[in-house]
Amino acid sequence: MHDEDRRVHWDNAYQSKGEAGVSWYEDTPAVSLDLIRKHATIATSSLIDIGGGASRLVDALLDEGMKAVAVLDLSPAALEAARARLGGRAGQVDWIAADVTGWTPERTYDIWHDRAAFHFLTDPVDRAAYVKRLTAAVAPGGHAIIATFAPDGPERCSGLPVVRYDPAALAETIGLSFRLVEHVMHQHTTPWNSTQSFQFSVLERVR
């Protein structure tokens, strides 16, 4: 899928279903928050949320005092939904409308957070491009928190195929610049009360 096709697909998903009508919606991103708190000092750390869309993680981070938070998504419609929800607080966030596989980071971050974006990259070329941006955007000592469908999770999402990972397979794919330091298996309940198996992996940048 080309960049423009991806943008149109995700714009349509958000515009047709709304923030709370997509399968990945969470009112409170509890697992992500727990891992961020464990591996960073929120008040003094910087974070970028990859594929963050209209996720409510940004709201929670602002509530907890994070001063340097960015949200990257290729769907302008999703980012606009989040900005509208935040109202006057939206100006505290760096909003980046881009496809992560073609984006050039302009700074580094303490935490790279990605809940369910990486698993849509079924082309090895796209995965390599993602890892290149990840490595450029996280300095040694920083962490990546990447959540994907687990091996027993869905094979498709939002009409698209995905690649499912266990923590070891994800770490191998990300490469030797990072080491796996923690993982959490999680059953996500969708807005229509079905469950999806996720794995959240925490990887430290080591070189």
How does 179-193 read in b/e, with b if 16+ C-beta sit within 10 Å?
A: eeeebbebebeeeee
Confidence of residue 177 (pLDDT cuts 50, 70, 90): very high
Residue 174: pLDDT band with limits 50, 70, 90:
very high
Q: What percent of the chain has pLDDT over 90?
A: 85
Write out the residue range of the structural domain in which residue 88 sits: 3-18+25-205
21 pLDDT higher than 70: no
Q: What is the average pLDDT score of the chain?
A: 92
What pTM was estimated for this model as a whole? 0.91
pLDDT band at 6 (very low <50, low <70, confident <90, very high): low
Domain harbouring 197, CATH code: 3.40.50.150
How many domains, in total, are found in the chain? 1
pLDDT, tens digit, 9 for 90 and up, residues 30-68? 999 999 999 999 999 999 999 999 999 999 999 999 999
